[in-house]
Amino acid sequence: MPLWAILFLILGLGAAAWTAARARARTFAGGPARPHSLPGHHGWYVALWATIPALAFLAVWSNVSAGLVYEQVMASPEAASLPAFDMQRHAILAEARGLATGQVTTAFNPQAHGIAPVYASAMHFWSLIGLAAALLIAFAGGGWAWTRMSPHFRARTRVERLVTALLLLASLIAVLTTAGIVLSLLFESLRFFARVSPFEFLFGASWSPQMAIRADQAGSSGAFGAVPLFWGTIFIGAIIAMAVAIPLGLMSAIYLTQYARPATRRWMKPILEILAGVPTVVYGYFAALTVAPAIRDAGLTFGIPASSESALAAGLVMGIMIIPFVSSMADDSIAAVPQAMRDGSLAMGATTSETIRKVLVPAALPGVVGGVLLAVSRAIGETMIVVMAAGLAANLTANPFESVTTVTTQIVMLLTGDQEFDSPKTLAAFALGLVLFLVTLALNVIALRVVKKYREAYE
């Protein structure tokens, strides 16, 4: 009997327990004592006792049972002929398991056919034990809860205590995820830094991880200097993209908030928001297919040798993607400038544009700067546009027509090959990820602090 069938059986038992307990609790109503809890609460109390311990057992059992089956198969006379070498034995056993469950029909290794029946009987035996134990626990739990039912029993308090605990548990998942990210990045990065010195990684100027595949070269070749990656990321994400996004985003926000009629604003703003909703893979495809060749051709007509994977193409498209982000942050901070400042400026005879340039934008500047920092943090973490449109060559160049590579591009390239997981090449991806995580985190913290401080100034 497969695990999911036992699962449904137990859930069915829970439903039955709920109905039965609720029906029994209804009879309390006519009695001499005023019942403390509603029938539904009694129902839930019994149902939870019937299901939760049994489900917990199943969760443990699903991890343990494979080992028990393995032990029994290994103890059988048929397994004596298996090769002692671990990898070979595991391959044969995996095939036998496939045969036993019917997932595969013919095995590559003839020995697997001999072991398959043993495997099947062992699995059958242990799944019966598991089923029996799960049912026993379900009935025991439900039965115990059933005996506690009485008009005075505070079922509602107990059920609600469990629900509250569940709520707390759900919100802890966010903390667990954060901890998981930090720990996994840190752990793998430490393994990387055990082979390549952090100093070399952070300040080395040469990046060619492919060379380090050979074991004798790992860590000694100087191939893991990430400075060209950091520069490429900053060049594309923080310089070219922002050169596009800041003027366009800021001016759009100014036009939509200060000049456009409300009706125009109502349909223009969502259209700009669509720019942020287009998947990045679409932008990447567009950058690689349309923008990059156009830039190369334009470069050729002006006599500039341009790479077909120029930094300009990726940066331009990324800038377009960031426009709505900058625009909505600027919108918020301009709206937060007190009306009195605007009115005062207009009353002194300044035109609208003078008011905007001399009063509103300077007053909103901290908020705009905060928004730009958030936009930068998003741009440097952006992956697909640069993977598809930027190059792989780790150049240290300030020429936007040449190709540069970024941190995210390299993470994708390092992890999508078929190499073993422990090589410095794959571990380097985690070190890059750690740097990226820390930098985006710092940018966000600073940006939020700037925005918050500025809000307080006007409150």
Partner 1 sequence: MSKRAPTDWNGPVMQRHIRRRYAAERRFRLLGLGAVLLSAGFLAFLLVTIGAKGIGGFSTAFLTGSDATDPVRAGIWGALKGSLLTLMVTIALAFPVGVLSAVYLEEYAPRNRWTDMIEVSINNLAAVPSIIFGLLGLAVFLNFMHLPRSAPLVGGITLALMTMPVIVIAGRNAVKSVPPSIRDAALGIGASKIQVVFHHVLPLALPGILTGTIIGMARALGETAPLLMIGMRAFIATPPGGIGDPATVLPVQIFLWSDEVSHGFVEKTSAAIIVLLVFLLAMNGLAIFLRNKFERRW
Residues 361 to 390 in contact with partner 1, rule: CB under 8 A: 374, 377-378, 380-384, 387-388
**187 binding partner 1? (CB under 8 A):** yes
Pick the closer one to partner 1 by CB: 365 or 448: 448
CA atoms of 26 and 229, how far apart (whole Å)? 70
**Residue 227, SS3?**
helix
Q: How far is the CB of 144 from partner 1 (least distance, A)?
A: 23
Q: How many residues does the chain have?
A: 459
Cβ-based nearer residue to partner 1, 17 or 288 = 288
- Whole-number minimum distance, CB 22 to partner 1, in Å? 16
Our CB check for partner 1 shows the closer of 138 and 432 to be 432
Got the DSSP string for 165-220?
HHHHHHHHHHHHHHHHHHHHHHHHHHHHHTTS-HHHHHH---B-GGGGGSGGGTTT
Shortest CB 80 distance to partner 1, Å: 28
Q: Closest approach of Cβ 136 to partner 1, in Å?
A: 29
Residues paired with residue 106 on neighbouring β-strands, in sequence order:
none
The Cα 17–Cα 44 span in angstroms is: 8
Q: Work out how close the CB of 76 gets to partner 1 at its nearest, in angstroms, rounded to a whole number.
A: 25
With 0-12 CB in 10 A as exposed, 13-18 as middle and 19+ as buried, what is 422?
A: exposed
Per-residue binding string, partner 1, 122-161, x by CB under 8 A, is ----------------------------------x---x-
Alpha helices in 39-85 (DSSP H): 39-75
Strand, coil or helix: 224: strand
Q: Name the residue nearer to partner 1 (CB basis): 118 or 334.
A: 334
| Out of 137, 429, 450, 451, the residue judged to bind partner 1 by CB under 8 A | 429
- Of 383, 379, 397, the C-alpha closest to 429 is 383
Six token digits for residue 196: 């390549």
Closest CA to 320 of 278, 353, 289, 351: 278
Scanning residues 167 to 186, which ones bind partner 1 (CB under 8 A)? 167-168, 170-175, 177-178, 180-181, 184-185
**Cβ-Cβ contacts under 8 Å for 302 (sequence gap 6 or more):** none
29 binds partner 1 (CB under 8 A): no
Single residue of 67, 143, 247, 293 touching partner 1 by CB under 8 A: 247
- Paired residues of 224 in beta bridges: 207
Q: Are 31 and 151 in contact (CB under 8 A)?
A: yes
Residue 323 touches partner 1, criterion: CB under 8 A: yes
- What does residue 224 show for φ and ψ, rounded to 5 degrees? -110, 35
The yes or no reply on residue 347 touching partner 1 (CB under 8 A) is: no
Instruction: For partner 1, give the closer residue by CB, 2 or 110.
Output: 2
Cβ proximity to partner 1: between 88 and 353 the closer is 353
Looking at residues 272 to 301 of the shown chain, list those that interact with partner 1 (rule: CB under 8 A): 272, 274-275, 277-286, 288-290
Residue 24 Cβ vs partner 1, minimum distance, rounded to whole Å: 22
Task: Pick between residue 163 and residue 298 the one whose CB is nearest to partner 1.
Answer: 163
